[in-house]
Amino acid sequence: MGIVTDGGQAMAGETGTAKTAPATNHDWLHKRQRIYWYDQYALNDQETAFANYDPDRIAKEMAGVGAEIVAVYAANQFSVAYYPSKIWPMHPNLKGRDYFGEVSSRLQAQGQKVIAYINWLESRHPEWYVVPMGGQPEKEFPLAPWAKPDNPDWRVQDVPGGSWRFACINSPRRRQVVEVAREIIERYHPDGFHLDMCFNSGVCVCEYCRPTLERICHTKDITQEAINAHWREFIDWRNECSASLIGDVSAVLREHGVFAAHNGQNPLWLSPMYGFDKNLLPHLDIYVSEIFYDLHASDLTMRWHRALNKPSCELLTSTSPMHAHLSVPFAAWQISAASAKANGCDILGPCGVGAYPDTTSSKTLHETVRRGLDFFMEDADLHAGAAPYAKVALVFSWATRKYFRAGRMDWSQELDGWSRVLVEEHIPFEVVIAEDVKDAADLARYDVVILPNTSFVDDTFCAAIDAYARQGGHVLATGEIGLGDARGFERADFALGELLGIAQKGAVEGHFAMEGPVEPEPATGVFQQVSASGEVLARQVATDPAGPVAGGPDPFPGKPTEWPVAVTRKVDAGEVLYVAFGIGRYYAATTLVHARDRMVRYLDRLLPQRQLLVKAPRSLEVTVWRQETPKRVIIHLANRTAMAHDMPRIHEIPPICDVTVEMENPYKVSKVTCRGASATTAVEENKLRVQVAMLDVYAAIVIEPA
């Protein structure tokens, strides 16, 4: 379990690495397929729980939705077992029946793969609960009537629905979870295993964490200021604690050929405090992310999954607001499935919904899910062996996520803003992970590489970026690029300063103005004051020190200052451009047109040409993929609608008319077909133009050598 801390508990330390067995080959997970996360919630004391339990009916229902994979609860959300466990108490309403064994064996017998599900949440050991810094442990609830007060593992609390009780990641809970995983795997032999909700979202100062925290912070007074002052050491330890636990669980799975499908959460949108970082990847055979109600989060996450080079699973939180067992509308399923297809998602399915406590399910929900998953499976042949074929790279950095400003999410918001503009401008892009870039060859196929506030990077990555630019590449960097290294230490100046032609002189945070094409334009963020040796495209504009007249972020502009907002320069065969603040973050927060237009101007200045010329509303997502067997280029068109940020409330998807897509012909002579819509094709010199008269939800333009 790692090294032993001062408190005597075995846990991960500041330097150790988690153990795990080698991954078993699960290539079949790369196929496009459907999953049903069959959530069988039941309260610890609920008369209706399992009242209509019929494993044959459940198996028939799961066959009816068409899912190739089904996740089955081996315990409820409070770690009360749904099978006769020797470790956890069994739910009394089962009356001794083995829910997990009976359901999972029937599913496997009818050809479906089974994931065994357990939860990190706890309802029996309040002494293991997280103790938040400066706060109190979670309140205890009265014991359930069937609890055994004299047995610590049977002191089951009657926890109300929706109340989460987190055990500390370093408590004895971790040993017990590993033991439960072994018990389930060796007894039932499921195909996969899932540990859910395994994180602490804040600083825990319980007896299991405090000794290490005091050593890291060099004080017994553990405050946020003390944590921030030692953030690098703290977050290294925090993430290793999680990785070592997941590694120990996965080691048990891999002894038996069971794939690890733990909930990896969503590192693009969550603070490193949650405990998920690069060290988790070796312990996962498939990356599972939950997506909550935001289509753009889904788009970007699926591209990020692809960069991880692991099978990807998107769990679509499928409940309508305020109704835990009412499905989102079918239109929401369609638009989500279209986005998943366009972005290379391997496995899609619902979560957050399942059976009622009595084990019956909504027929409407099942039918909606079935139709949505069937739509996802259409044109699955376009997914097999396909690889992204975009010419723009958007860089994600594990080190930046981990060490940036004591957990601030500026880097994420900057990544978000640039990805939104790229999607809205119909510019295909891929996510590239900084830590995977070893030399310029890894970037050679991209026309532009965007570094969105990529603050903490190693020398190898910087050398690759430098060589890529000098060999003819184009680099767009923003904000605090390279002001820290990959170990979390700050640098005295920008690591890529010589390439970008900048040197840091200071930084200020707040509202400011900047020169625009017509007049000064407002902005907000952390502004880097730099000296620049290249061509200055715009300067910061001084604002009235009296502040905004109306009280909001509306600075009254004055005269230009000496500080560049954007600067560009030629470097050998390439070109670079630097923006001195998080303009993507500003756009993501405000969606102001002047910010977007400035970002587009900078992109078009660097791009030799756009890979695609698209005539369509900004709500159309366009991605480009290619296959070698059979040889073809695929352009996915996904209609996102104007309400894509609020999927549960999408009831209809207005069609898009008169879509035109133009690109260089990828083959000397091409054959073009369009799936999901009617299209006409024209060839002029080496240009291929495809016109789609009307696009409903999704279409695919397929280009093959004639």
Q: Render pLDDT for 545-566 as a digit per residue (tens, 0 to 9).
A: 888 888 778 888 999 999 999 9
More confident residue, 382 or 326: 382
Q: How far apart are CA 303 and CA 280, in angstroms?
A: 19
Confidence of residue 614 (pLDDT cuts 50, 70, 90): very high
Confidence of residue 642 (pLDDT cuts 50, 70, 90): low
pLDDT at 273: 93
- 693 pLDDT higher than 70: yes
The CATH class given to the 31-378 domain equals alpha beta
pLDDT in tens, 168-205: 999 999 999 999 999 999 999 999 999 999 988 899 99
Per-residue pLDDT, averaged over 456-468, amounts to 98
Confidence of residue 11 (pLDDT cuts 50, 70, 90): very low
pLDDT in tens, 254-275: 999 999 999 988 899 999 999 8
Contacts of 328 (CB under 8 A, 6+ apart): 316, 318, 319, 320, 368, 647, 648, 650
- 325 pLDDT higher than 90: no
Can you spell out the DSSP letters for 577-642?
A: EEESS-HHHHHHHH--HHHHHHHHHHHHHH-SS-S-EEES-TTEEEEEEEEETTEEEEEEEEE--T
Amino acid at 450: I
Give the rounded percent of residues in the chain with a pLDDT score beyond 70: 96
Whether 471 contacts 572, CB under 8 Å: yes
Per-residue pLDDT, averaged over 118-132, amounts to 95
Whether 379 contacts 700, CB under 8 Å: yes
Least confident segment among 23-27, 311-315, 488-492: 23-27
Task: Report the chain's terminal Cα–Cα distance, integer Å.
Answer: 59
The length of the chain is: 706
Q: To the nearest whole number, what is the mean pLDDT of the chain?
A: 93
Domain over 391-606 is classified CATH 3.40.50.880: yes
Q: What are phi and psi of 246, to 5 degrees?
A: -60, -35
Whether 33 contacts 346, CB under 8 Å: yes
pLDDT at 267: 92
pLDDT at 476: 99
CA nearest neighbour of 41 among 276, 355, 299, 507: 355
If one counts every other C-beta atom within 10 angstroms of the C-beta of residue 463, the result is 16
- 514 pLDDT higher than 90: yes
How do 521-532 and 620-628 pair as beta strands? unpaired
Which residues of the chain are in CATH 3.20.20.80 domains?
Answer: 31-378
pLDDT in tens, 522-535: 999 999 999 999 99
Give the predicted TM-score (pTM) of the model: 0.95
pLDDT at 652: 85
pLDDT in tens, 417-433: 999 999 999 999 999 99
- 440 pLDDT higher than 80: yes
- 625 pLDDT higher than 60: yes
613-705 CATH choice from 3.20.20.70, 2.60.40.10, 3.10.270.10, 2.60.40.1180: 2.60.40.1180
Helix axes 410-424, 295-308, angle to 10 degrees: 100
Whether 698 contacts 635, CB under 8 Å: no
- 63 pLDDT higher than 90: yes
- 626 pLDDT higher than 70: yes
Confidence of residue 651 (pLDDT cuts 50, 70, 90): confident
Q: What are phi and psi of 248, to 5 degrees?
A: -65, -40
The tokens describing 600, both together, are 């587009």
- 404 pLDDT higher than 90: yes
Confidence of residue 138 (pLDDT cuts 50, 70, 90): confident
Per-residue pLDDT, averaged over 682-702, amounts to 95
- The dihedral of CA 355, 356, 358, 364: what is its sign? negative
Per-residue pLDDT, averaged over 611-632, amounts to 97
